[in-house]
Structure 1
């Protein structure tokens, strides 16, 4: 009789444990899915978190099942489970002062930028910088006689034979900050904040136009937006912070009209000085490039892969041309950059405020060369080319 009662009690206890585990798992799932967590359990979040936890923590867990691993674990270095849980859920890392002060000190959050691939000379002290957008100055400039409305020369240069044609537009070039310009073509302007213009021959639109021409020469159908973002923001009574919302409207409209477009290229320029944005490669001077990948969108992993692959090809052929691949979250930028609209999106910066046309042209041709090879290779693999 006693043995029977013991079995009943044991069975009830086991059932209670199962029930408790069920409610625990259900609560965790509910918490993760319905509470507005600052950090979501994305693959990138899990990767970044596990990367910061000491390797001995994982070895300790595995050693509980694989006895042979116990000899490889340094107990003195292995962190406690409580510390690992604390680091994961608070995102405060004692070794990194940015996690304590990033939101308290104005401007300090910019150092949250992650460097996925560091180019030559790239570290936290040489991060890309955006110049202030003096919209009123730009609107007044519209009235100046220097505004050049001439059309670009689309004739092909000798030595570059047109490649096979896509037969459709597959790439779209646009500019969320179309006013960004270059000091060498702005007489009387000296500082980074003055390097702005509505003149399409002097601002970043000229870079986009040249890149379009180079891609078209290589058979890649390309569209290019020359939208004057400054004027459009003014019409909507929007400010600088709405730049990506405005360019988003443009991108969505073009993609709706041209369903074949899959590569989105948002072109900018940096505000860092020439010593950081220029490289001499085989006797030629280039405006250095860098990629920015937004982390706060569903296409983050694939867009990061694209940026890394293009960056690697560029560096292999033109060592030093790239400053690297940067990852930005909503804490230090837009965090999305319209890259949720395509898994083949990139934000690409060509040079800085002090780079001249020759340096920019060299880099545009280099990028067009690498990108076109990447594109046609991908087409061969997919069997669509």
Structure 2
């Protein structure tokens, strides 16, 4: 009898274990199936996201770009005792490491509270700037766009004060028109035959971006139709410098809020595209298109001092929706590298931006591989700072121009092209 109960007890025990194993197996199977479905959906969503995201920077999502070159040097220094020590603060500081690890695990940048919401609010991260090339002027802050609270009212535009071919396209531009506008006024000859051919165009998609010191104001969003108080002044300085260097330069001083019927700020790049298209159709040799803006950050984030002289810093901006962005990046990088070599601290680097409020995703850069948007200074930059930066920026552009056109000019004239020296 005891043996019978013993066998029954063993059978019951084995049955209980078998049921437990089956339950555990079923649970594991459900978890495996659920994980498989999750990763399939995740992969499908990722593939769909890649197709929908026309960004040409899939491997440059900000985190990788934020790694300091000093970090790798310090890591090497741990193994190579005689590697020269950098005078810069350690990239392996507690704050840097903590910030990097936190961003790696959460995709949230502790220095940018907006990144916490941008993953949850559709469209909030659409215009996030992505660092492509670092500038010695610092990368702790991305460029900040100019966003007027409402469409800017039309105002009477004072007479332009720019050099070169100022006043280009001074007639109204239809909002939806791609037709060329009337011819621009001829530029004054600076003594070089080359200035008769317009090779470079300086223009402004946001011409009313202004500077507080020029307005004697303290605004977070200074705006003005006066070309002596907004980015047109910077364009004038650059144009005059390029003309002195013997390069024909066209400067557009169109104030779209005044010239365009039913003006809408959100169509800014649509308006400027018409201007650029018309200028290119009238100037066959025009190859370089530079859209001058200003940043919307304060003075401490847009200024540097070199040799006791204060300079407005610059950002180079590329449109991430432009399929040929690499050619534009190559052009921008040549200017950037010249500034880095001659005036380290002036450039805040090259940044890629996608479509957002008030732009077309490519900043009209598909019109020429030698096209770039450059932000010069911030809302608090002084005239002296803007003039100083305009001169060195124009010299970099001029040197690049003469270098790239030397062979062309030599073939045309049967001799060696000589670039006029900066005055």
TM-score, scaled relative to structure 2: 0.62
SS of alignment partner, residue 199 of structure 2: strand
The equivalent residue for 2:322 is 297
Question: CA 1:106–1:353 in 2, change beyond 3 Å: closer, same or farther?
Answer: farther
Question: CA 1:111–1:239 in 2, change beyond 3 Å: closer, same or farther?
Answer: closer
The answer to whether structure 1 residue 127 and structure 2 residue 142 are counterparts is yes
* 1:96 maps to which of 97, 107, 119: 107
Correspondence list, 1:231-270, <5 A: 231-233=258-260, 235=261, 237-270=262-295
Taking the aligned partners of 2:256 and 2:354, their CA distance within structure 1 comes to: 23
Taking the aligned partners of 2:132 and 2:160, their CA distance within structure 1 comes to: 40
Correspondence list, 1:358-369, <5 A: 358-369=384-395
By how many angstroms is 1:232 displaced?
A: 3.3
Correspondence list, 1:1-385, <5 A: 37-39=51-53, 44=56, 96-97=107-108, 102=118, 104-105=120-121, 108-109=124-125, 112-120=128-136, 122-123=138-139, 126-133=141-148, 138-139=153-154, 142=156, 148-149=158-159, 151-152=161-162, 165=194, 167-187=196-216, 189-193=217-221, 195-233=222-260, 235=261, 237-330=262-355, 334-382=360-408, 385=417
Is the Cα contact below 8 Å between 1:171 and 1:263 reproduced in 2? yes
By how many angstroms is 1:370 displaced?
A: 1.2
Question: CA 1:137–1:301 in 2, change beyond 3 Å: closer, same or farther?
Answer: closer
By how many angstroms is 1:148 displaced?
A: 4.4
By how many angstroms is 1:216 displaced?
A: 0.3
Question: CA 1:136–1:327 in 2, change beyond 3 Å: closer, same or farther?
Answer: closer
SS of alignment partner, residue 224 of structure 2: coil
Question: CA 1:240–1:103 in 2, change beyond 3 Å: closer, same or farther?
Answer: farther
Question: CA 1:282–1:272 in 2, change beyond 3 Å: closer, same or farther?
Answer: same
Taking the aligned partners of 1:243 and 1:103, their CA distance within structure 2 comes to: 28
By how many angstroms is 1:298 displaced?
A: 3.1
Is the Cα contact below 8 Å between 1:296 and 1:336 reproduced in 2? yes
By how many angstroms is 1:151 displaced?
A: 4.0
SS of alignment partner, residue 146 of structure 2: coil
The count of aligned residue pairs is 292
Is the Cα contact below 8 Å between 2:127 and 2:356 reproduced in 1? no
Is the Cα contact below 8 Å between 1:229 and 1:246 reproduced in 2? yes
Taking the aligned partners of 2:298 and 2:126, their CA distance within structure 1 comes to: 18
**Structure 1 unaligned runs (5+)?**
1-35, 53-92, 155-160
By how many angstroms is 1:284 displaced?
A: 1.0
SS of alignment partner, residue 194 of structure 2: coil
Is the Cα contact below 8 Å between 1:164 and 1:218 reproduced in 2? no
Taking the aligned partners of 1:205 and 1:315, their CA distance within structure 2 comes to: 25
By how many angstroms is 1:130 displaced?
A: 2.1
**Structure 2 unaligned runs (5+)?**
1-49, 65-103, 110-114, 165-189, 412-416, 418-423
Taking the aligned partners of 2:378 and 2:195, their CA distance within structure 1 comes to: 32
Q: Based on CA coordinates, which of the two structures has the bigger radius of gyration?
A: 2
By how many angstroms is 1:334 displaced?
A: 3.4
Taking the aligned partners of 1:100 and 1:297, their CA distance within structure 2 comes to: 28
Is the Cα contact below 8 Å between 2:207 and 2:230 reproduced in 1? yes
Taking the aligned partners of 2:203 and 2:282, their CA distance within structure 1 comes to: 15
By how many angstroms is 1:117 displaced?
A: 1.6
Taking the aligned partners of 1:262 and 1:191, their CA distance within structure 2 comes to: 37
SS of alignment partner, residue 227 of structure 1: coil
Is the Cα contact below 8 Å between 2:203 and 2:253 reproduced in 1? yes
Taking the aligned partners of 1:121 and 1:364, their CA distance within structure 2 comes to: 16
Question: CA 1:135–1:200 in 2, change beyond 3 Å: closer, same or farther?
Answer: farther
By how many angstroms is 1:153 displaced?
A: 7.0
The equivalent residue for 1:30 is none
The equivalent residue for 2:68 is none
Is the Cα contact below 8 Å between 2:163 and 2:236 reproduced in 1? no
Question: CA 1:46–1:97 in 2, change beyond 3 Å: closer, same or farther?
Answer: closer
